[in-house]
Amino acid sequence: MTQEIHFVTGKGGVGKSFVAAALAFRQAKEGRRTLLVELGERSFYKDFFRLESIGYQPQPFQENLDLALWSGPESLREYAKHLIKVESLIKIFFENSVSRNLVEIAPALSELAILGKITSGIRKHGPPMPYEVIVVDAYATGHFLALLRAPLGMAEAVRFGPMGEQSRGIAEVLRNSQLTKVHVVTLPEEMPVKETEDLVRELVGDFHLGPSIVLNKMLDVPSEAPPSDAPVAFAEFVSTTRNRQNEMETRLRDLARPLSKVPLILSDDPMLAVRRAVEVLT
């Protein structure tokens, strides 16, 4: 079975998690066995979808779609278990206060462990990952680039031993555009678009990954002029928004990337909003 990894990133506050969910729903709807993963300690989807809990072990969520929350220390612990196989030793290590701090502070260990977990299915390393698609609700732009760089940096700093080997293996998967896809989410606004342009350049230049772009929260502007009884401030808002959206869309088209647009969805019902976004994503 082939497995694809889809990373979803973008500037903070652009709706990464929402778009990641929509992409995962879309894959599941098309019949692929999909896992939607959040990174870190705190779950966004738990509040967003009003769920009881989300944990490290994938749990069924929708048809064909499972959910999980992967943190660095937990991923590392699983990796340790796979490598060392003696539970009592692992316990000693993770309960030692110094090594606990080391694990928490050094992404060298923690973030590599997360990347290791994400790529474990493809590298056939660790417990089975019975998914065709893994959608990762990844970090915001800067932190995401640091995450992608971590394995290569570590492989250079530590050439030998399991750390070096694992790092090289992970880096290889991340640079393979058949296996790894990146989606950059942006709003039709100056700052996120600028950040998208820079990020796309780095991803193409440094990682040979050609990301696709998702333009989120596009206001559906009526084609005709506003009626005379529309409040002035509102009419102005609509017209400024239209101009700004057009300008930003043109700039993103110049990047020559697959571009999808998700409309601004004025709803507090998360399921409804995600399902609407699924329809428009290509």
Restricting to residues 72-111, which ones interact with another protein according to CB under 8 A? 76, 79-80, 83-84, 89-90, 92-93, 96-99, 101-102, 104-111
51 scored as a contact of another protein (CB under 8 A): no
Q: Which H or E element spans position 186? A: strand 180-186
Considering only residues 157 to 186 of the shown chain, the ones binding another protein according to CB under 8 A are 157-165
Candidate residues 29, 33, 125, 149; the one interacting with another protein per rule CB under 8 A: 149
Candidate residues 87, 146, 246, 247; the one interacting with another protein per rule CB under 8 A: 146
For residues 28 and 109, which CB has a smaller minimum distance to another protein in the complex?
A: 109
Taking the complex as a whole, the smallest distance from the CB of residue 28 to another protein amounts, in Å, to 21
Best CA proximity match to 10, nearest among 138, 99, 122:
138
205 scored as a contact of another protein (CB under 8 A): no
- Enumerate the H helices of the chain as residue ranges: 16-29, 44-48, 72-84, 87-95, 97-105, 107-118, 120-123, 141-157, 161-174, 190-207, 232-254, 270-280
Best CA proximity match to 56, nearest among 108, 140, 113:
113
Candidate residues 1, 229, 256, 282; the one interacting with another protein per rule CB under 8 A: 229
Residues 6+ apart with CB under 8 A from 197: 251, 255
Candidate residues 62, 140, 204, 257; the one interacting with another protein per rule CB under 8 A: 140
Four-point Cα dihedral 72, 192, 23, 245, nearest 10: 170
For residues 29 and 94, which CB has a smaller minimum distance to another protein in the complex?
A: 94
Taking the complex as a whole, the smallest distance from the CB of residue 189 to another protein amounts, in Å, to 8
- Judged by CB under 8 A, the number of residues near another protein is 72
Q: What are the phi and psi torsion angles at 216 (to 5°)?
A: -100, 155
Taking the complex as a whole, the smallest distance from the CB of residue 33 to another protein amounts, in Å, to 27
Render 206-263 in DSSP notation, one character per residue. Answer: HH----EEEEEEE----SSPPPTTS-HHHHHHHHHHHHHHHHHHHHHHHT---EEEEE
Q: How far apart are CA 245 and CA 264, in angstroms?
A: 12
Considering only residues 11 to 40 of the shown chain, the ones binding another protein according to CB under 8 A are 11-14, 40
Structure-token pair, residue 91: 């316990």
Structure-token pair, residue 213: 């772009």
Q: Are 128 and 84 in contact (CB under 8 A)?
A: no
48 scored as a contact of another protein (CB under 8 A): yes
Taking the complex as a whole, the smallest distance from the CB of residue 184 to another protein amounts, in Å, to 14
Taking the complex as a whole, the smallest distance from the CB of residue 212 to another protein amounts, in Å, to 20
For residues 238 and 281, which CB has a smaller minimum distance to another protein in the complex?
A: 238
Q: Are 178 and 148 in contact (CB under 8 A)?
A: no
Q: Specify the stretch interacting with another protein by CB under 8 A; choose among 187-195, 201-209, 245-253, 254-262.
A: 187-195
For residues 3 and 17, which CB has a smaller minimum distance to another protein in the complex?
A: 17
* Residues paired with 38 in a beta bridge: 69, 137
Taking the complex as a whole, the smallest distance from the CB of residue 131 to another protein amounts, in Å, to 25
Considering only residues 249 to 278 of the shown chain, the ones binding another protein according to CB under 8 A are 266-268
